[in-house]
Amino acid sequence: MAVRGLNHAVLCVSDVSRAATFYRQALGMEVVDDLGQAVFLALPDSGSHHDLGLFEVGPPAPGAHTGRAPGLYHLAWEVDGFDDLVERRARLLELGCLTGESDHGATLSLYARDPDGIEFEVCWQLPRDAWGADADRAVTRRLDWTEATRRWGVTSGGDR
C-alpha cells in the first residue's frame, strides 16, 4: 500500500496558546479543538480533520542544548498557486518571521520560524512541465521575485 501524503504533524511547543495564534495568523489555520495543553488546527481547504497538533511542553530547561539535534527539521506547507505564495510571503513578512526564500527548480519556497524557533516551509510546486532539468536533481537557488512574477504572476492554480 502506498503512502498518499502527510495527514498531520504534531509539534511540541513552549506555549500552546501563543503557537496556535501564530499558526492561525501565519497560515490561516482554524482551531478544531482546544484542550488547554493541546490544540488541533486545520487549514481551511485541506479536507483533513486536523493538519497540525500543538502540545505544550513548557520552556526548555536552563542550559538546554539549542543546536541542531536529531528530530524534526521542518514541515513544508503547500499552496495552490503563485498568487497564494505571494500573499503568504506578505503575511510572514508582516509577522517578522520570514527567514529565507529559495527556488528549488520544482518548487518556489519560503522559510519561516514559529515563536519556538521551529522552522517551516511554505511552497508552491511548479507545474511538472516547468521542472526541466531540475526534475531529476535537488537544487537550491536564490528566488528571483522579479523573474518569478514575470513568469507566474497570473493565477497558476494547481496544475501539475
pTM over 0.85: no
Total domains in the fold of the chain? 2
Q: Which amino acid, residue 98?
A: L
Q: Per the domain annotation, does 68 fall within a domain?
A: no
Instruction: Please choose, from the candidates 132, 154, 152, 156, the residue with its C-alpha nearest in 3D space to the C-alpha of residue 143.
Output: 152
136: which 3 cell numbers? Answer: 531529476
Domain that holds residue 132: 74-160
Q: Per the domain annotation, does 66 fall within a domain?
A: no
82: which 3 cell numbers? Answer: 503563485
Instruction: Please choose, from the candidates 116, 114, 117, 111, the residue with its C-alpha nearest in 3D space to the C-alpha of residue 98.
Output: 111
Q: Per the domain annotation, does 69 fall within a domain?
A: no
pLDDT of residue 159: 43
Same domain for 55 and 78, yes or no, is no
Give the CATH number for residue 104: 3.10.180.10
Per-position pLDDT tens, the chain of length 160: 655 677 789 999 989 999 999 999 999 999 999 999 999 999 998 888 899 999 998 877 666 655 555 567 788 999 999 999 999 999 999 999 999 999 999 999 999 999 999 999 999 999 999 999 888 888 899 999 999 999 998 554 444 3
